[in-house]
């Protein structure tokens, strides 16, 4: 789990259990209603069997420790980001059902028979996650250089322009057009591709590029026309691959529906980030520091304009690469449902990639 997710302990040992149950009930009620929660409601909702006075005392201590706040003197209380974090950590301690993963996997397999192709699958799963959560859903494909090279194909477009199709393991396809500076027919290109596939298949793309540069320095290339041509094509093929992954985003319109808690500046910042996409990729790469679940709540965002939002993300794995699936929504989101959905979707994508049939 990311360093953004940390366990918070409240109160003294003698009141800890009551405080946990009361805070969990308050978070649950506020997420459901969106209104400050009165102490009189919590007497019943928390099921503690204590008086209203005791509940008020516990709430006062929770407020002193920064877990809840009172927006107005006469109003009830609402959770702070620290209160949400506490509730999320309790959720993470409990065992979650795997039914969500099975449901998402069944839908992915039913809706698209070609979902073994990574681009198709991730576009689809970002839609599924957004639709189910009613938040922004995203799916991040690994950076190309993290991919493992499987094969390359060269397709002539004109006398000196060639379409390069790089296929990485897991269904990742990269296409680019290069100017080869000489006239090459289909047979020349096929021979070059066969040589490169035989020599470099199975290497990460970054390592394949390094291996090409090393091979170019070998003296025997100077006397072998086929090898020299293949290396020139390989140099152009592996050059200038993007360092960042591709991201698929769905549901940006859901932010407008939640806009009652957001400033215009906050909305503009996130919407612009979603529109530009690569800014969102860089943000996610900063947060995702390893396999598993990452949760960033409100004030835990370094960017002050994003502190009205929470992010839940989980990694998927196809046996060689790691990517990310997740949601972005208001801090007042249904965390238990969002966590189960994101983790279930990541597990489903991993299984579909490993066994597409």
The H-or-E segment that residue 169 falls in is none
Q: Which two tokens stand for residue 226?
A: 């086929």
In tens, the pLDDT along 200-212 reads 888 887 788 788 8
Give Rg (Cα) of the chain: 26
How far apart, in Å, are the Cα atoms of 62 and each of 6, 32, 34, 59, 69? 18, 20, 19, 5, 9
What percentage of the chain exceeds 90 in pLDDT? 25
Task: Please tell me the least confidently modeled range out of 108-122, 166-180, 247-261, 323-337.
Answer: 108-122
CA angle 294, 295, 297 (to 5 degrees): 155
- Residue whose entry in the numeric block shows the structure tokens 């939640």: 258
d(CA 353, CA 301): 32
Alpha carbon 237 to its chain centroid, in Å, reads 28
- Mean pLDDT score, 326-343: 92
Length of the chain (residues): 357
Comparing CA positions, the residue from 302, 341, 304, 332 lying closest to residue 87 is: 332
Task: Please tell me the least confidently modeled range out of 70-84, 210-224, 241-255.
Answer: 210-224
In tens, the pLDDT along 25-56 reads 999 999 988 899 988 888 887 777 778 888 88
Query: String of b and e for 123-136 (b: at least 16 CB within 10 Å)?
Result: bbbbbbbbebbbbb
DSSP-based helix, strand, coil % in the chain, nearest 5: 55, 20, 30
d(CA 311, CA 137): 10
* CB 245 within 8 Å of CB 140: yes
Domains and CATH numbers, the chain: 13-80 (1.10.10.10), 99-142+245-354 (3.30.450.40), 145-238 (3.30.390.60)
In tens, the pLDDT along 82-92 reads 999 999 988 88
Is residue 116 predicted with pLDDT exceeding 80? Answer: no
Comparing CA positions, the residue from 142, 137, 135 lying closest to residue 124 is: 137
Beta strand ranges found along 202-352 (DSSP E): 247-250, 293-297, 309-317, 322-330
Mean residue pLDDT across the chain: 81
pLDDT value at position 4? 47
Alpha carbon 107 to its chain centroid, in Å, reads 19
Is residue 106 predicted with pLDDT exceeding 50? Answer: yes
Model pTM score: 0.70
Beta strand ranges found along 200-280 (DSSP E): 247-250
pLDDT value at position 283? 87
* CB 176 within 8 Å of CB 280: no
């Amino acid at each position: 789990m990311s360093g953004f997710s940390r366990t918070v302990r409240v109160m003294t040992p003698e009141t800890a259990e009551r405080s946990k149950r009361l805070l969990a009930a308050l978070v649950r009620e506020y997420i459901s209603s969106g209104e400050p929660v009165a102490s009189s409601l919590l007497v019943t909702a928390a099921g503690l069997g204590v008086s209203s006075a005791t509940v008020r005392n516990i709430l006062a201590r929770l407020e002193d420790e920064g877990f809840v706040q009172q927006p107005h003197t006469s109003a009830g209380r609402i959770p702070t980001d620290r209160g949400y974090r506490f509730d999320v950590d309790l959720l993470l301690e409990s065992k979650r059902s795997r039914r969500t993963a099975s449901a998402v996997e069944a839908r992915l397999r039913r809706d698209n028979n070609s979902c073994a192709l990574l681009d198709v699958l991730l576009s689809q799963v970002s839609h599924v996650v957004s639709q189910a959560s009613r938040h922004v859903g995203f799916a991040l494909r690994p950076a190309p250089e993290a991919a493992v090279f499987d094969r390359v194909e060269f397709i002539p477009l004109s006398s000196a322009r060639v379409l390069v199709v790089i296929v990485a393991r897991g269904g990742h396809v990269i296409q680019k057009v290069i100017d080869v500076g000489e006239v090459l027919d289909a047979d020349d290109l096929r021979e070059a591709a066969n040589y490169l596939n035989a020599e470099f298949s199975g290497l990460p793309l970054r390592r394949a590029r390094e291996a090409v540069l090393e091979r170019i320095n070998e003296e025997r290339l100077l006397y072998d026309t086929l090898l020299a041509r293949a290396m020139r094509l390989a140099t152009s093929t592996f050059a200038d691959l993007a360092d960042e992954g591709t991201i698929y985003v769905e549901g940006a319109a859901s932010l407008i529906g939640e806009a009652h808690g957001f400033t215009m500046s906050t909305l503009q910042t996130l919407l612009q980030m979603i529109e530009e996409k690569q800014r969102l990729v860089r943000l996610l790469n900063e947060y995702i520091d390893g396999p598993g679940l990452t949760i960033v709540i409100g004030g835990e965002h370094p960017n002050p304009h994003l502190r009205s939002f929470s992010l839940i993300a989980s990694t998927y794995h196809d046996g060689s690469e790691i990517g990310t699936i997740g949601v972005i929504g208001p801090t007042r989101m249904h965390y238990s449902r969002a966590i189960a959905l994101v983790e279930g979707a990541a597990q489903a994508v991993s299984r579909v990639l490993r066994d597409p049939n």
